[in-house]
Structure 1
Amino acid sequence: MTVTAGILLFALLGILLVFGVPIALAILLSAMVTISLVIPFDVSIIITAQRLATGVDNFTILAIPLFVLAGIIMNNGGIAFRLINLAKIIVGRLPGSLAHTNVVGNMLFGSISGSSVAAAAAMGKIMTPMEMRQKYSLSYSAATNIASAPAGLLIPPSSMLIVYSLVSGGTSIAALFMAGYIPGILWGLSVMAVAYVYARKHKYPVSEKVSWKDKLFIVFDAIPSLLLIIIVIGGIVAGIFTATEGAAVAVIYALLLSLLYKQLKKEQFKNIFKETIEITGMILLLITASSLFSLVMSYTEIPAGISSALLSISANTIVILLLINLILLVMGTFMDITPAVLIFTPIFFPVVTELGIDPVHFGIIIAFNLCIGNITPPVGSVLFVGTSVANARLESVIKTLVPYFIVLIVMVLAVTFIPQLSLFLPQLFDLM
């Protein structure tokens, strides 16, 4: 039954995706057809209805729409400009300083907004014209923006890690959040290393010197935005509030800060709530569809079958992790991050559990791999948004991205085989 059900389930999913069916609907239909063929139809209908209703019946899931709302408010509230000014202060004396400013800006804004697409769009719109005035290559400008945007998905708060927590059986969100810091910073530094070599080769300029008076003003102007991370993450780690309560605090803080900056108009709220509803609806539909998909996999023992198959290839942890990384990297090029987390976590979790790999560490492995898929063709949303914002040719941008891909694959191997890169901070704060 396992082999037949697995082939049917994933074959249907693949066929539906090839024909352009939206991924949430494709997941739902493939799961419904499979479960109706392995158990009586009348029973399968009841189970399906119950699962769709209970799939999002979880208090923790409420954190996702709240973090989405907070990110959209910040995206419209003038915070990006202040973070870019701060980034200029940090890396302004490096060759190709505008490109480095873009990277640091993506790390800061992406972590606060929780969206790599929002970060790539916001930073690209601001940085590309500035870089063009200093004769930067358009493909280099776009590639650096695209390659650095997903770093903010690893640096908390991160909706992706919340989703992983849900499907991995309740892995600590606080531990996952702290685990994302070092890998997220390493992502940004590795992109900066490639950008530095490219800038030195093409003799791109450094930014003008900024007086100490202006530096102090820029730093103080950015502090309220940075305090959001400290308040939300600090509160969650300290146990003052849950991730969901922290998300609510983020919304209130972002709203007050945007009103204080006087860049959020009354007319914008309609579009802010509309965008939040659209994104939330998409994510929740994916979660509830994937919960049925996971139930079908569990009922037909697909994860156990895949676990046995992988372990039959080798009992060596290094070999198994290399295989899992390879599968995640390949599948990440075809799937968005949220559905990939929802589908592949239940499949690989039994394998890594048997190998003794910590669930927090594995969460960062999955996140890092799928973030790379977020910037690769054919489905990389950040790739297409970043290219569109810069008005650059896709072919030239992908060519320029190749060195970035290489260093990021090196980084994902480092994160995979050096567990302390992920576990040091959670252990330091006694979250594990």
Structure 2
Amino acid sequence: MELALVGSFLLMAFSGVPVAFALCLAVLVILVFFTGQPSVLIPQIMYSGVDSFSFMAVPFFMLAGAFMSEGGVTKRLVSFAQTLVGSFRGGLAQVVCVSGMFFAAISGSSAATTAAIGTTMVDEMEKKGYRREFATGVVAAGGTVGIVIPPSITLVVYGVIAGTSISDLFVGGFAPGILMGLVMCLVSWFIAKREGIPAEGKFSFVAAAKAFGDSFFALMTPVIIIGGIYGGVFTPTEAAAVAAVYGIVVGMFIYGELKLKDFPSIIFKAVIGTTLIMFIVGAAKVFGWMLTNLEIPHHIAAYVVSLTSSPIAFLLAMNILLLVIGTLINASAAVVILTPIFLPVALQLGIDPLFFGVLMVVNLAIGCITPPVGLDLFVASAVTKVPLEKVMWASLPFLFALLGSLLLLTLFPQIILFLPNLLN
């Protein structure tokens, strides 16, 4: 039955069946042909899988990102990033990386970060002499931090499934996200130097201070969220609602670019985005339920422990697996399926569940630009109209650099754990 379950899922996934449907249909195959249990179990388990108060954070964070994007936040964040790193060689490429970190603190989604930065920056980079393929590769890579830097929808999903503090996960995501952004800035500098792209202008404290003031309320979003959670003012779920209301206030009354007539389309987009995520999470819950029933997690845990008792060896093997899975499955779905399988092994080997969760999300984030089917590659290609294969080649230097940062995080867990331990 194990082979039938996994085999039917892979067959459907590679045949072009949407992942959520492939997950449910694979379980249906087992129910109909092997167990004889009623198929009504599938919608029941899907519902139970998303019936959690903590998941209320997902639509609110989606709304917060949409309100702020429409309210003029994106261009202000880009302007601030430009004053910080725009004067360096390859400055505009580094602006994309820094803007990706800023926007990640609002959107919670890698695809949304890629789309928002791509529509803003690629044409501008091309005008300044950057190859369009290179500009698109930078945008695809810059979006990866969208699910690492808080608020991260994927970290919320892991926290619910693993029973780990979402606020601690959020804090743990800061250092890896910043490390990923800095590594990508360094790669941008090297490529710009190789291609003879000169630096533009000089750094100005006055311009940076002015841009900071203009984007101050946007930059306060993660401060309010994390500060409110750790200050005991609200829970992570309530923080998402606060972020959505804050997005409305900033867009309408501070920047004045968000209008009431924009609300229906913004809410509709957030509803569609939330529905897609929750449907995938529900489907993954069904698949995970069948995996548990077949005792696959137990068998895998026993097999892994029999092979090695080294946490590092286990984590390195997990990195490879997650990078591959991250190209095939939505990050939230991968977390729902794989956490019940591998977290018990991690705990048995003495690995901190908070560290394991953040490392898992970093892996899946990098999977978003891992060929051949990384999600951010498709998003960047669609936004910029650059052929997918050219986006893949352009993003490879950033992929290798991010893999280096992943290895660093794996070998030195305190990079992730330092801030949560300090605050606790």
Question: TM-score normalised by the shorter chain: which range applies?
Answer: over 0.9
Indicate the residue corresponding to 1:6 in structure 2: 2
Written as runs of structure 1 = structure 2, the 5 A alignment for 1:70-149 is 70-149=64-143
Distance in 2 (alpha carbons) for counterparts of 1:46 and 1:376: 37
CA contact (8 A) 2:311 2:350 kept: no
Per the alignment, residue 188 of structure 2 pairs with 195
Residues 159-178 of structure 1: pairs in structure 2 closer than 5 A = 159-168=153-162, 170-178=163-171
The answer (yes or no) to whether the contact 1:107–1:151 under 8 Å persists in 2 is yes
Specify every segment of 5 or more residues in structure 1 that has no aligned partner in the other structure, as ranges. none
How far is the alpha carbon of 1:275 from its aligned partner? 1.0
| SS of the residue 2:275 aligns to | helix
Deviation digits for residues 322-381 of structure 1 (CA, Å, limit 9, x no counterpart): 211111111212222121111111221111111110111011111111111111233222
How far the C-alpha of 1:153 sits from its partner, in A, is: 1.7
Contact 1:107 1:155 in 2 (8 A): yes
- Write the distance in 2 (CA, Å) between the matches of 1:127 and 1:85: 11
Q: Distance in 1 between matches of 2:86 and 2:270?
A: 35
Q: Which moved more, 1:183-192 or 1:20-29?
A: 20-29
Work out whether 1:252 is the aligned partner of 2:245.
yes
Separation in 1 of the partners of 2:257 and 2:2?
Answer: 52
1:303 aligned to which of 297, 314, 322: 297
Matches of 1:49 and 1:398, distance apart in 2 = 37
Partner of 1:224: 217
1:220 match: secondary structure: helix
CA contact (8 A) 2:322 2:360 kept: yes
**Deviation for aligned residue 1:284:** 1.3
Counterpart CA distance in 2 for 1:210 and 1:11 is 56
Residue 135 of structure 1 deviates from its aligned partner by: 0.8
C-alpha distance after superposition, 1:389-418 (max 9, x if no partner):
223233333222222111111111111121
Residue identity matched to 2:352: D
1:22-421 map, 5 Å? 22-35=18-31, 39-41=35-37, 44-45=38-39, 47-168=41-162, 170-209=163-202, 212-260=205-253, 261-421=255-415
Measure the CA separation in 1 of the matches of 2:396 and 2:410.
21
| 1-structure distance, mates of 2:89, 2:141 | 18
CA contact (8 A) 1:75 1:118 kept: no
Q: What is the deviation of 1:205?
A: 2.5
Normalising by the residue count of structure 1, what TM-score does the alignment of the two structures yield?
0.94
* Residues 102, 144 of structure 1: 8 Å contact kept: yes
Contact 1:142–1:392, Cα closer than 8 Å, also in 2:
yes
- Judged with a 3 Å threshold, the aligned counterparts in structure 2 of structure 1 residues 175 and 35 are, in CA distance, closer, same or farther, namely farther
Q: Is the 8 A contact 1:334 1:378 kept in 2?
A: no
Q: Is the 8 A contact 2:2 2:296 kept in 1?
A: yes
What is the CA distance between 1:134 and its match in structure 2?
1.4
TM-aligned CA distance change 1:236 to 1:27, over 3 Å: same
Name the amino acid aligned to 1:125: T
**Aligned residues, how many?**
423
In 2: Cα distance, 1:214 partner to 1:313 partner: 57
Which amino acid in the other structure matches residue 89 of structure 1?
T
- Report the Cα distance in structure 1 between the residues aligned to 2:365 and 2:22, rounded to whole angstroms: 22
Task: Please say which of residues 81-90 and 316-325 is displaced more in the overlay.
Answer: 316-325
For the 8 Å contact 1:71–1:115, the answer to whether it is kept is: no
Cα RMSD (Å) of the superposition?
1.7
- Asked whether the equivalents of residues 109 and 152 of structure 1 are also in contact (C-alpha less than 8 Å), the reply is yes
Q: CA deviation at 1:16?
A: 1.7
Identify which range, 172-181 or 273-282, moves more after superposition: 273-282
Q: Give how far 1:129 is off.
A: 1.8
In structure 2, C-alpha distance between the alignment counterparts of 1:202 and 1:145, rounded to whole Å = 18
Closer/same/farther in 2, CA of residues 165 and 38 from structure 1, 3 Å limit: farther
Superposition deviation, residue 422 in structure 1:
0.8
Amino acid across the alignment from 2:176 = P
Separation (CA, whole Å) in 2 of partners of 1:200 and 1:412: 25
- Taking the aligned partners of 2:34 and 2:227, their CA distance within structure 1 comes to 47
* Residues in 2 aligned to 1:192 and 1:75: alpha-carbon distance in whole angstroms: 23
Deviations 1:283-342 (A, max 9, x none): 111222222222222222110111112222222222222211111111212222121111
Q: Does 2:17 align with 1:21?
A: yes
Residue 278 of structure 1 and its aligned partner are, at CA, apart by: 1.0
SS of aligned partner of 1:333? helix
